[in-house]
Every structure is written in C-alpha cells, then in structure tokens.
Structure 1
Amino acid sequence: MDEHFELFLEEMGPAIDKRPVPPSSIERFRGKLPDQLLAYWEEHGWCGYADGLFWTVDPQEYEPVLDAWIGDTSFMEKDAYHIIARSAFGGLYFWGERTCDSLTVFAPGTYCFPHESIFQNGDVNLGLRTFFSVRDRKENDFGEMFSSAREKLGQLKHDEMYGFVPALALGGPATLTHLKKGKAVEHLVFLAQLAPLEVMTPPSLADF
C-alpha cells in the first residue's frame, strides 16, 4: 500500500460493505481512468469509508447520474468524465480522462465546482493518489449531520444515501428531521431534474 492511501485510511478509517470489482470492469476503464485507481479497485474493491460517509463507486453504475447532471452541459464538450466517488449526502467526485480531478458536484444544492487540476496533462497516477490522500471527513459531512443521521436512520449500504425530503431545491430545510435514507442513484437523478446546475467559481484574492 502506498503512503497516499495510508494517509487516506488514517483519516477515513477501514472499508465497509466492500464489493469486489470484476475483471471486466477493470478492462472497461483501462486507458480511461488512471492505472492507480484500477489497482485500488483490484485491492480494495468498491466500498465505503468513514462509516459510510465516503464511497468509491462503479462509474458504469453511476452513468445515469453523470448524464443527468452534466450530459447536456458544456462540461461534456471539454472532457470525458466518470464519477469515481461520492459522499453520503450526494457530493459527487468526477474524474476527467484529460482534466483529472477537475469537477465536483453537490447534488442537494444543485451546484458544482469546476477547477483546474495541477495534474492535467501530467502524472495522472500521482494525481489519483493525491486525490485520495487529501480527502477528509469534514468536506463530506454536510452540516456535521452524518453521525446523527447514521444513529437515527441506520448504517448506509453501498447503494444508499441520506437525502433531504422535501429536497433543498424545492425549499426543504437542511435539518436532520428532514433527512431520509434512500437509493443513491435514483435520488441523485431525481435531484438533477429539480433545478439547473449552478457553476460556482473559487474565490479570488480580490475577494479577501
């Protein structure tokens, strides 16, 4: 195990609900996703970390989610993307075949954060290792509600997430009492239909 993934495990804890990745999936994404990610899949499978706060996922399984969120946007003109991970609340991590870790979407809020990856056109395997090593619990724990949601609603399975009902895009409040546990892919596709995706830009030095 490399030091980057060791840092990831130190922060996010051991895997749960592990699913072995079939060789056909490895070959399907060979040349599209970094070899390092495929190696992680072979060794660790698709699974949850931090008690189900963060999940590595099958990009093929999440193709309907990708199409729902960016299929009709200019992002698809820039690169070929794949969803490689998600959070318990619907944070989606996209990997571009050319632009690497250049796009994240927060589905409940219907907004996204595009950014330039320093690994674009560079060492994509190092970029992938770095992607994992910098992940932390706080960035995935919306409103610091995960522990309470897990206690109230139960442990998530690999195909489940916590979602707000009514959805935030429909005016629902972002409170624990309005969280429900449901199927991840179906809920993420539903959220994409509620409002246009808003593109957020990182703050510049002039904003400070």
Structure 2
Amino acid sequence: MDEAYSLFIEQMGEPVFRQEVPLSSMERYKGVMPEKLLEYWKEHGWCGYGEGLFWTVDPQEYEGVIASLINGSKLENRDKYHLVARGAFGDLYLFGENTGFSVKILAHLSRYRGSEYQLTANDMNREVQSFFLSKDKESVDFDDMFEPAKKKLGILDPTEMYGFVPALTFGGPCDLAHLEKVNAVEHLLGSVRNPEKPNRHPSDAEFL
C-alpha cells in the first residue's frame, strides 16, 4: 500500500464491504482512468470507508445517474466524466478524462463545484493521490448528520445511501426525521427525474 492511500485510510476509516474489481472493469478503464487509480482498484477493490461514510464505486453502475445529472447542463460539453466515489448522502466525485477529479456534485442540494484546469497524462497519477489525501470524515459528512443517521437507520450496504424523503431539491426538510436508507442509484435518478421538475440539473454554484 502506498503512503497516500495509507494516510487516506487513517483519515477516513477502515474499509468495509470490499468488492473485488473484475478484470473486465480493469480492461474497460485501462487508458481511460489513471494507472494509479487502477492500481488502487486492484489492491483495495471498491468498498466503503468510515463505516460507510465514503465509497469507492464501479463507474459503470452510475453511468445513467451521471448522464441524467449533466445532460443539458453546462457540464455536458466540458469533459467526459466518470463517477469514482460517493459520500453517504449522495455527494458524487467525478473524474474527467482531461481534467481529473475536477467536479463534485452535491446531488442532494442540486449544486456542483469544479475546475476547468487541463491536466497532462503525467499529472493524473499525482491527481489521484491528491484526491484521496484530501478526504477525511469532516470533509465528506453532511451537516454532521452521519453519526445520528447511522444510529437511527443502521450501517449502509454498498447499494445504499442516506436520502432525504422528500428530496431537499423538491422542498423536503433538512432534518433527521426525513432521512431514510434508500437505494443510491434509484434515489439519485429520482431526484433528477421527478415528474414535477423533469429537467432539474445541478446549477453552477461554483466553477473555478
């Protein structure tokens, strides 16, 4: 294990629910994702950290979610994005093939943050290490709600997230009473495809 990932685990917490990354996925993303990320996948798999506060994920499982979130938005033509990690409340960490870890979508708030800096191939491996080094429990929690949510609803499995019902983007209250354990993909898709507001996309709250 390299030092960057070791420090990430120290900051975020031990892994849970490890899923081995199949060879087909390694081949699919070879030349698309940085070698350092594929190295992490091979060694550590896809799994949760900090009792499910932060998850590394199979990008292919979230292709529909990312398409729904960015199609028709200003992100659509900036880069080709793949979801690499997510938080327990639906924060989505996107890797851009030209811009690296350049976009974080706060799906529960319908906001995103990002940069337009172009990276060279030599920069990408350092970008991967920097991404994981920048993550700790405080930075990925939402309003200090993770521990109360875990106590009330139990630990998440790899398919789940804590979701507000109704979603905050549709006027739901931001309180523990309205949090539920939900299927992550279904909930994220539903927050975009709600029939009352079918064209809702993350707004440009902050683009550097």
TM value normalised by structure 2? 0.93
For 1:59, the equivalent position in structure 2 comes to 59
* Percent pairwise identity: 46
1:120 and 2:119 correspond: yes
For 1:183, the equivalent position in structure 2 comes to 183
Q: 3-state DSSP class of the match of 1:78?
A: coil
User: Over the residues paired in the alignment, what is the CA RMSD in angstroms?
Assistant: 1.4
Give the drift of 1:136.
1.1
Q: 3-state DSSP class of the match of 2:143?
A: helix
Deviation larger for 68-77 or 43-52: 68-77
Give the drift of 1:2.
1.2
Give the drift of 1:202.
5.9
Q: Is the 8 A contact 1:114 1:200 kept in 2?
A: no
Q: How far, CA to CA, are the matches of 1:54 and 1:10 in structure 2?
A: 13
For 2:167, the equivalent position in structure 1 comes to 167
Give the drift of 1:116.
3.8
Relative distance call for 1:103 and 1:14 in structure 2 (3 A) is: same
* Gap regions ≥5 residues in structure 2: none
Give the drift of 1:115.
1.5
Which of 177, 201, 208 in structure 1 is aligned with 2:206? 201
Instruction: Map residues 3-152 of structure 1 onto 2, 5 A cutoff.
Output: 3-117=3-117, 120-121=119-120, 122-152=122-152
Q: 3-state DSSP class of the match of 2:58?
A: coil
Q: Is the 8 A contact 2:73 2:201 kept in 1?
A: no
Q: How far, CA to CA, are the matches of 1:12 and 1:64 in structure 2?
A: 28
Q: How far, CA to CA, are the matches of 1:39 and 1:56 in structure 2?
A: 13
Q: How far, CA to CA, are the matches of 1:163 and 1:113 in structure 2?
A: 20
* Gap regions ≥5 residues in structure 1: 204-208
For 1:206, the equivalent position in structure 2 comes to none
Give the drift of 1:140.
1.3
TM value normalised by structure 1? 0.93
Deviation larger for 191-200 or 122-131: 191-200
Q: How far, CA to CA, are the matches of 1:75 and 1:167 in structure 2?
A: 22
Q: How far, CA to CA, are the matches of 2:63 and 2:41 in structure 1?
A: 18
Q: 3-state DSSP class of the match of 1:51?
A: coil
Q: Is the 8 A contact 2:103 2:112 kept in 1?
A: yes
Counterpart of 1:154, as a letter, is: G
Q: How far, CA to CA, are the matches of 2:70 and 2:35 in structure 1?
A: 25
Q: 3-state DSSP class of the match of 2:112?
A: strand
Q: How far, CA to CA, are the matches of 2:178 and 2:172 in structure 1?
A: 8
Q: How many residues matched?
A: 202
